[in-house]
Structure 1
Amino acid sequence: MNLSKHAERRVYQESVRLLESSFPRLDSLPRRVLGALLARTVGNAHLFVREDLHERAGNRPDAFLVNANGIFALIITEERVREQTARTVFRYAEERCAGITDQRGRVVPVSAIHRVIVGPGTGAGRTARAAGPHWSLPETDLARLFRREDAHLTRRQVDVVARQAGDLLSGYARLAVEPPEARPETAGLLDAASLAENEVEAAQARPFDSWLTFLHPHQHAIVARDYNGPARISGPAGTGKTVVVLHRLRRLARNSTGPLLFTTFVRNLPTVHAASFRRLAPEVAERVEFLHLHAWLRRFLQSRGRAVRVSTRGINTAFARAWTVHRASLRELEPSIDYWRAEVDRVIKGRGLTTFEEYLHAPRRGRKLRLDARHKELVWELYETYQAKLAERDLHDYNDMIQLGDVELRREPLAQGYAAIAVDEVQDITLTGLRLLRRLAGDGPNRLLLVGDGQQQVYPGGWRLSDAGIPVQGRGEVLRVNYRNRRGVLDFARGLDATNEVDDLDGGPGVVLGQVEAINGGGECRSWSGPAAELPAALLDQIATMPAPLGQTALIVFHHRDLVRCRKLLHEAGIATLPLEDYTGAPDDRLKIGTVHRAKGLEFRAVLVVQFDGGDRPSSAAREESTELRNRQRLVAATRARDFVWWGSVCEPTAGTAG
């Protein structure tokens, strides 16, 4: 609630009086801290204080705070708290709050309870200092617990939590101060604004973040589970796989020493999830590294003095030149350079094949075009020429980085290993990448967690976890409830024909989007189809009437060339955009724009999809594979939206496939 300076002074004075009457024997620091916290309960916060606080008997938190930023368990002390004592106190807090649920039956997991130790002194004013598995917060930085940018619960959710906390926290007094009386002619307006304030904050600025405090019971069970070896989480789009990963990372960081790693094949995704993790777990945020796989490899190889030269343009040029040498021998079988590029990247190099004999007998999971020994010999010659073209320019490609990193790890493991590694969007990582991550994680409980969905695979080819020597029998979890997409959006995505059978990443039957449970009603989808000349008017008309702010909207295409066309169109219309590859999750007013490959793992209130029909049509032999891949990409694009999808199909005069 917004108060005048005069009203703030009156509220603080009332807080001090209430504390003195309820706790007359409080020491100076608890009195100052609780007074400041109590003054902030006006509006939408609740404070619970130990009734025997002056005695400090037993290992219990001194207070609990519930507000729009979550649930905080507080120790208030001028002395250094022993780590074992802090763990005991906060374990008590987590156990006492274990029964709290929201209106939808989601639970508050132990990983959602913020652990805070408040001491005397001053601080930086913006961040809390990590001190073990909890915050160490000086009393002058209490505003950190109320930052508006961290709000993610609505007024109703806060009240629901506080009501249950009052029943569960026996031995704690619930304290609150009333807002100053407003003038009669403005009282109604002030109350209405106060009631709406946190609803607007949660529903617009942070529309997806109630997961910071609440999880579905099945999600919570996975977060709390211990695995005695590598584990796998699978499930269709929107089922909360990454949410589970972040909560597990917080739990593991609190109960282990050493660094943890979150990695993925998607370049821009770690930055977004790192920001989410900082909000979920600021006390251990520095313990967890968020890096996409190739960034980690580049850093690792540099630390070992192994120089690598990786240039996307140089790699593309090297393959294009190799293709000109072998095009005549392969184009009758399949004319698309992209098909053979994927064969080299995802099968030969992606599976770590080093001899023609290995390639001759290797499985080609996910590839529909049959190749006999003669065809494979031609492909192998293309691969060797490509390698020679890279060597001429002293270049490496991304598969080479993995191979070099694996060799270096075998030669000398890390001096300090990771306590745990979580791999998101694992279905798009190559087999060699999986083997490297397995080696990096090592053996032991909870060391390696693999998360993905075969139906969202946006690159050709495939594998099974057993191919990488990763046993997950008895340690596989499947999520089946969609929490992201409203029913209208989910039904639209289900109709995109991406219904091919998928496995659970290890050969067993998987769950597709059509089989998930939908829990969010509403949602809207609109479609448009027309020639390219009419796209600007149609797209800009839709943007002008969007049901969501542009800052919470993404425009997604399927090829880089289409991205160039759409970016030019938007620039000419004066619409501010932010490339998805530069998106960090921070709120702004710009329309996000990128290919489906950069949209993986992200979510927005609204999504605009522009699909260009036309381009190279694959031969009939490869058409089935191409169609399946594109349908999976369409599903990924549609399921990025929570509330609204606009699907624009541009029909080119030339014949060709979508996209």
Structure 2
Amino acid sequence: MAQSKHARRVLQQQASALLNEKIPQLDGDRRRILTALLVETAGNWRLFVRATPLDEQADAFLVGPDGIFAVTVAGAPPHGSSRHELVRRAEERCAGIRDGRGRVLAGSAVHFVLITPGPPVAVRDAGLFRVLAEPELAKLLKPAAPHLNRRQIEEISAQAERFFDGYVPLRVRVPERGGTTDGFLDAGSLVDAEVAAAQLRPFDSWLTFLHPHQRAVVTRDYRGPARISGPAGTGKTVVALHRLRHVARRTGGPLLFTTFVRTLPPVHEAAFRRLAPELGDRAEFLHLHAWVRRFLAGRGQAVEVDARGVRTAFGRAWMRHRAVLEPIERHDEYWRTELDRVIKGRGFTTLEEYRRPSVRRGREVRLGHEQKAAVWQFYETYQEMLAERGLHDHNDVIDLALAELRRQPLETRYAAVVVDEVQDITLNGLRLIKELGGTGPNQLLLVGDGQQQVYPGGWRLSDAGIPVQGRGEVLRVNYRNRAEVLAFAQRFDARNEVDDLDGAAGITLRHAEAGNTGGTTASWRGPERDLAAELTRRIAGLRDTLGQTALIVFQHQDLVRCRRILRAAGIPVLSLDDYSGAPDDHLKAGTVHRAKGLDFQAVLVVEFTGEPGERGAAAEEASDLRDRQRLVAATRARDFLWWGVVEDTFGAAG
């Protein structure tokens, strides 16, 4: 409800009198704009105004549902050293503020706003500043995506009175009960907005607050490539996004956030735009193969992967060599992985390279010299089958891009490159990333966890020539999963040997510290004929949080089965392939490969039991891989985890 004209006049009188009393020396533009700002913030936002306007200092700080804003009133943004000094001082003022959970306010979580006097004018080179003209103040105070609740706003404001030395807290009271100007929240409507937002998603307070160790990693100065590792749920991606913003504020040029997982970039881009809206035009969020295809197209080498044609080429090569390879390991999928993740993924071009010791890290089937020669012949036949049809697989596309980058580097280098879920990128993919990010100070950040590797094979960062010695960080506290969910996930941890992505011992999920209490887990085991009733019953109990719930399976055919059940029950479903992080009321559904890097309030996992009787090194490797996939699936859940096991997939007794 809009304020009455009388109420607004009273607020203006209060604001004008308060500014005259507290800060009489304000010039005309600042007095007029800050008076209007004080009127609009009545009831919910908190305003702190600089007692004596000075260069290289924000004129005011605003604290509200969307975070903290450093406000400058001027006709143009500061430039050069003045801009950097204003940013530095504003971040330092806020850096000591804490919330009730012991987290510290991230200095880079402060938004910078330039308010220009008079009507809108074109402002060039705004940089970090969001620019609003005097008549556009309403846009600043409309909560686009609230991530601080009223209690947190009060906590920040109470501490800000101590931290904002030289700033005067100002507040005017709404003179009558009712709403504020359209688009603004009074104390009552703020609660309503909080409830509405909570129904869509929990308040994302990570946009503003970080735990002290996380904040230290965000702001640390690295003299070369850096690595962040740690078990699931320890906030690696949160730290990476904050660090990308922190580095971007101190550099110029484009930014790149990439990963092997196709579904992650849109979700992380949405989060980064909330964290750093002023950097949206500088930051690219693309999965690695999408970046590579775009790059090659720009160099006149447009390449697309014909997945069906690649499968046919592999099948024909397999038929020619299966008589030799089946006695070693009968499953063609094992050999597909050998070509994809070992021979081509590691960039081998000769049999001599392939025969070197310790090049098949992560593979359980041991191969002698003659057996490797047989595998190499299989590889050569596969390459011939691709060449006959003019086809390329994903590894070929990486190779083409790597060769092109080495021939002619990017004309404009990235100021910073962040790689998430790096453990699932091939070694040749890492070499490409090194060419993209370089090895200079603060240019390249690699984020991952060897325990969450959902593809076979492995490497060390040093294999790609990426030096991270002395620049490795390990996060140890799990902040995502509540204690009961974490305890459930830790049961899949027993057989994993984990390194820190460069050979040293890493921290497993079993040794992670729980940062949150509570949580609920439930299990079910039964025949497939009972799955539909049990699954729909569980989903019915999550109706209020359906949009924050995910169904995760391990194979595509299992997803087809479950989607059939959901469709029959009339449950709205959004594929994880199409999920961007935007709030909705649909259940999310996909394989564990698509769920990597994501998290949800509630997760339902459906596991169909595999064919019994498999033994040997390949089976052991597959079992270890499935345990890692189970761990990834379980740790997607924040508050609630349901784990269903379907026992009679292959006709076993119910």
Give the TM interval when normalised to the shorter protein: over 0.9
Q: What does residue 351 of structure 2 align with?
A: 356
- 2:485 and 2:521 in contact (8 A); partners too: yes
Matched with 2:296 is: 301
Partner residue, 2:62: 65
Is structure 2 residue 116 aligned with structure 1 residue 119? yes
Please tell me whether the aligned partners of residues 151 and 206 of structure 1 are also in contact (alpha carbons under 8 angstroms).
no
Q: Report SS of the residue matched to 2:266.
A: helix
Residue-pair matches, total:
643
CA drift of 1:311 comes to 2.0
**Structure 1-normalised TM-score?**
0.93
Of 157, 160, 164 in structure 2, the residue corresponding to residue 162 of structure 1 is 157
Larger deviation, residues 442-451 vs 315-324 = 315-324
Report if the CA contact (8 A) 2:230-2:475 is conserved.
Answer: yes
Counterpart selection for 1:648 from 644, 649, 653: 644
- Secondary structure in 1 matching 2:210: coil
> Match for residue 458 of structure 1?
454
Match of 2:547 in 1: 551
In structure 2, the residue matched to 1:399 is 395
Deviations 1:413-441 (A, max 9, x none): 11111112111100000000111111222
Higher deviation after alignment, 17-26 or 426-435: 17-26
1:78 maps to 75
- Residue identity opposite 1:9 in structure 2: R
Matching of residues 566-577 of structure 1 within 5 Å: 566-577=562-573
Deviates more, 1:97-106 or 1:610-619: 610-619
SS at match of 1:382: helix
**Aligned mates of 1:642, 1:130 — CA distance in 2:** 41
Query: Which residue in 1 is equivalent to 2:103?
Result: 106
Q: Name the counterpart of 1:186.
A: none
Of 601, 605, 608, 1:605 maps to: 601
Look up the match of 1:187: none
Cα deviation, 1:339-387, whole Å, max 9, x if unaligned, reads: 1111110000000011122112251001011111222222222222222
Question: Is this contact kept in 2: 1:265–1:293, CA < 8 A?
Answer: yes
Q: Deviations over 1:489-538 (max 9, x none)?
A: 11111112454120011110000111111121110011111111111111
Q: What residue number does 1:530 align with? A: 526
Alpha-carbon distance in structure 2 between the residues aligned to 1:482 and 1:553: 20
Q: Once structures 1 and 2 are overlaid, which stretch shifts more, 434-443 or 614-623?
A: 614-623
How far, CA to CA, are the matches of 2:648 and 2:284 in structure 1? 45
Structure 1 CA distance for aligned equivalents of residues 577 and 119 of structure 2:
38
- Quick one: structure 1 residues 117 and 375, their matched pair in 2 at CA, closer, same or farther if it must change by over 3 Å? same
Is contact 1:129–1:137 with CA below 8 Å preserved after alignment? Answer: no
Measured after TM superposition, the shift of residue 15 of structure 1 is 3.6
How far 1:216 moved relative to its partner?
0.8
SS in 2 for 1:575: coil
- Of 318-327 and 400-409, the range deviating more from structure 2: 318-327
Matched with 1:214 is 209
Instruction: Tell me how far 1:479 sits from its aligned partner.
Output: 0.3
The aligned counterpart of 1:139 is 134
Q: 2:374 aligns with which of 367, 373, 378?
A: 378
1:64-103 Cα distance to aligned partner (Å, 9 max, x none): 0011111111101134533432322232222222211111
**Equivalent residues of 2:233, 2:478 under 8 A apart:** yes
Instruction: Please name the residue that 2:267 is paired with.
Output: 272
| Alignment match, 2:46 | 46
Task: Tell me by how many angstroms 1:574 deviates.
Answer: 1.5
Q: Which amino acid aligns with 1:75?
A: T
Aligned-pair Cα RMSD in Å: 2.4
TM score, norm. by length of structure 2 = 0.93
Cα distance in 2 for residues equivalent to 1:585 and 1:193: 28
- Which of the residues 89, 94, 97 maps onto 2:91? 94
Could you tell me which amino acid in structure 2 is paired with residue 68 of structure 1?
Answer: P
- Change beyond 3 A, Cα 1:653–1:551: closer
Q: For residue 459 of structure 1, give the secondary structure of its aligned residue in structure 2.
A: coil
Give the letter for the 1:633 counterpart.
Q
Q: 1:31 to 1:487 in 2, by over 3 A?
A: same
Shift of 1:198: 5.1
Q: Which amino acid aligns with 2:61?
A: F
**In structure 2, how many angstroms separate the alpha carbons of the residues matched to 1:535 and 1:328?**
40
Task: Describe the shift of the 1:121–1:537 C-alpha distance in structure 2 as closer, same or farther (beyond 3 A).
Answer: farther
Q: Deviations over 1:254-277 (max 9, x none)?
A: 111111211110111111111111
Gaps of 5+ in 1: 184-189
Q: Do the aligned residues in 2 keep the contact of 1:581 with 1:598 (CA within 8 Å)?
A: yes
Query: Which residue does the alignment assign to 1:225?
Result: 220
Distance 1:539 1:192 in 2: 41
- Counterpart for residue 35 of structure 2: 35
| More deviation, 525-534/370-379 | 370-379
Which one of the candidate residues 472, 475, 481 is aligned to 2:471? 475
For 1:420, the aligned partner's letter is A
Task: Within 5 Å, give how 1:9-20 maps onto structure 2.
Answer: 9=8, 12-13=11-12, 14-20=14-20
Deviation at 1:552, TM superposition (A): 0.8
In 1, the alpha carbon distance for the partners of 2:328 and 2:236 equals 40
Q: 1:609 to 1:326 in 2, by over 3 A?
A: same
Contact 1:486 1:518 in 2 (8 A): yes
Distance in 2 between residues matched to 1:43 and 1:499, nearest whole Å: 56
Structure 2 residue ranges without an equivalent (≥5) = 179-184
How far does the alpha carbon of each residue in 1:272-320 deviate from its partner, in whole angstroms, 9 at most, with x for none?
A: 1111111111112211211111011001111111131312222223222
Question: Are 2:632 and 1:630 aligned?
Answer: no
2:419 alignment partner, one of 423, 426, 430: 423
